[in-house]
Amino acid sequence: MSEAPAILERRVGDLTVRIDRTLCVGFGDCIEQAPDAFEFDSEGIVRFPMAGIESIERERLILACDVCPVDALSVFDADGVQIVP
């Protein structure tokens, strides 16, 4: 069983990033785009690192979430409007 909850959220500037770990199949495209924002856990499922995500550029974070082929990553703006996927 995974050590992390099924849904993870992190606030980054004016964005909220959500990882649905039940959808993640470990392609790693998000990690390639933003290795300081995402990492694999011991099961090969994406999670947030302990530190570092707060300094990522907004557009790079959005792109990293948008490249997920299974839509396991979502991004919401300050008003709660979903902008990715």
Domain-embedded: residue 85: no
CATH number (domain holding residue 63)? 3.30.70.20
User: pLDDT tens across 5-51, in order?
Assistant: 999 999 999 999 999 999 999 999 999 999 999 999 999 999 999 88
Domain-embedded: residue 41: yes
Amino acid at 29: D
Contact predicate 84/72, CB 8 Å: no
Residue 31, domain extent = 7-79
- Cis omega (within 30 of 0) on the bond before 85? yes
The structure's pTM equals: 0.92
Contact predicate 48/37, CB 8 Å: yes
Domain-embedded: residue 2: no
User: pLDDT tens across 42-75, in order?
Assistant: 999 999 998 878 889 999 999 999 999 999 999 9
Number of domains in the chain: 1
Domain-embedded: residue 43: yes
Domain-embedded: residue 84: no
